[in-house]
Amino acid sequence: MSTLVSPFTERRMAEIVEKVRYGERLTLEDGVYLYETDDLLTLGQLANEANLRKNGKKVYFIENMSLYFTNVCEARCAFCNFRKDQGDEGAYTLSGQEMIDYVEQHIHPGVREFHIVGGHNQHVPFQYYVDSLKALHDKYPHVTLKAYTAAEIDFFTRISGLSIEEVLQELRKAGLQTLTGGGAEILSDQYRQKMKVTKANVERYLEVHRTAHKLGMKTHTTMLYGSVESYEDRVSHMLQIRELQDETNGFMVFIPLSMQPKSKNAGIMRRNSAYEDLKTIAISRLMLDNIQHVKAYFINIGPQLTQVALSFGASDVHGTIVREQISHAAGALTPAGLTRKELIWLVKGAGRIPVERDTFYNEIQVYE
C-alpha cells in the first residue's frame, strides 16, 4: 500500500493509510475526514485494496425479483413517494394469489430470490403478511424469500401484540429466510424526527436485526444518505452497524442508498453527485471492516457509476430486480432492472470477475 502515499498526500490521509495497512480500525473522526478530503483517488485506491483483500476481483450478483404486496402505509417519511393512503388513487393491497399472478407474468427460470418490501398497511392484520409469504413459498419453494425491513418487523409487533422474536418465528414458519436491509435510513433519532420517520427508531431497528441474528438468520443493512444528515451522522451510522456486527456477525452486506428526489424532473442540484456516491461507497468499505460486502446499487447510482464503484470498494451489484418501484416512484432515472447478460457485461467492463450467487453469497457460477 505504500504506493498510495505520495509527496502530495496530506499527513492525515497518510496516517489513515497506515491505519488501514496495519489493520487498525478507523474512528468517527477518520470517517468524517475522509468525507471532507478532496483526495478522492487516494480514498478510492485505499478502499479498492481493502476490498481486494476481502474478495479478490470477484463481484457478486443474483437473479432476483422485487415484489411489493402493498403501497398503503401509515408512515409519512418525508423522502418517500411510494406510499399511499387507503383509498388514494393508485393505492393497492394484493392478495397472495394476485401476487402469484404477477410473478407468473414476469418470472424466468433463473430467479433465485424474491425481494419483498412494502408499506406499513394498518388496515390488514399481521396474518395477511404471514399468508403473503406462505402463498409465495408454497408456489415457489425453490426461491429464497428475502422479505420485510426491520421497520416492517417492528410494525408487525405493534399490530399483532407479539414480540420481535415471535413475529420472526411466525414469518419463518411461512418461509422467510432473511430480512432486507431497508428502514435504517440514517441511524439518528434527531434525523428521524427531522425527516418524519415515525417508524422504528434507532434502537428498534438494531434490536430487530440483533434478534434475527440470534435466531441464526443472516440479514442485510442499508444507509439512505443525501438529505439533511451531516457527515458525522453518516459515519456514526456505520459505526453502530459495525458495533452490532462485532456482537452478532449477522450482516452479509452493507448497502449505501443514494437519496432520490421526489420528481424525475428534478435537476442535478437536487441529486447526490457522483463524487459523493463514490466517497460513500469507499468510506463504507473502510469503516465496515467486519462486513464482507459493500453493494453498489445501480438503481440509485446508475450502471456506469456502478462500474466505477467496483474500483472504490464495492463487491456486489445487487441483481436483475425486474421492476423496481420505490426509487422509481421518486426520481430515479436509472433502469428498473437489468438482465443477467447486462450484469455480466457491467462487471466485466470494470475489469472484474462476475459471480452469480444465491441470497447467502454461495457461488452459483463464476464467469471468468
**Terminal CA-CA length for the chain:** 27
Closest CA to 194 of 228, 226, 166: 228
**DSSP H/E element including 147:** strand 144-147
Average pLDDT of every residue of the chain: 91
Of the chain, the percentage scoring pLDDT greater than 90 comes to 76
Q: Which residues make beta-bridge pairs with 257?
A: 224
Instruction: Taking residues 97-101, report their average pLDDT.
Output: 94
Q: Residue 177: which residues within 8 A CB-CB, separation 6 or more?
A: 144, 145, 146, 217, 359
Confidence check: pLDDT of 353 > 70: yes
Confidence check: pLDDT of 23 > 90: yes
pLDDT in tens, 262-318: 556 555 556 789 999 999 999 999 999 999 999 999 888 989 999 999 999 999 999
Instruction: Taking residues 330-344, report their average pLDDT.
Output: 66
Q: Tell me the whole-structure pTM to 2 decimals.
A: 0.92
Amino acid identity for residue 94 in this structure: L
Measured over the CA atoms of residue 272, residue 310, residue 358 and residue 63, the dihedral's sign is positive
Of the chain, the percentage scoring pLDDT greater than 70 comes to 90
Instruction: Taking residues 340-354, report their average pLDDT.
Output: 94
Confidence check: pLDDT of 104 > 60: yes
Burial 150-186 (b: 16+ CB within 10 A, else e): bbbbbbbbebbeeebeebbebbbebbbbbbbbbbbbb
Least confident piece of the model among 63-72, 203-212, 250-259, 356-365: 63-72
DSSP-assigned states of every residue in 120-143: --TTS-HHHHHHHHHHHHHH-TTS
Instruction: Taking residues 241-270, report their average pLDDT.
Output: 83
Which residue carries 478507523 as its cell? 26
Strand order across the beta sheet in which 363-366 lies: 316-319, 58-62, 353-357, 363-366
Which parts are annotated binding residues?
73, 77, 80
Q: Residue 251: which residues within 8 A CB-CB, separation 6 or more?
A: 209, 213, 218, 219, 220, 221, 241, 244, 245, 291
Confidence check: pLDDT of 149 > 70: yes
Instruction: Taking residues 52-57, report their average pLDDT.
Output: 98
Which parts are annotated binding residues for [4Fe-4S] cluster?
73, 77, 80
Higher pLDDT, 129 or 321: 129
Amino acid identity for residue 174 in this structure: A
75 alpha carbon, distance to own chain's centre: 20
pLDDT at 329: 47
**Cα→Cα distances 68→36, 98, 116, 337, 362, Å:** 38, 11, 6, 15, 26
Higher pLDDT, 85 or 176: 176
Instruction: Taking residues 246-269, report their average pLDDT.
Output: 80
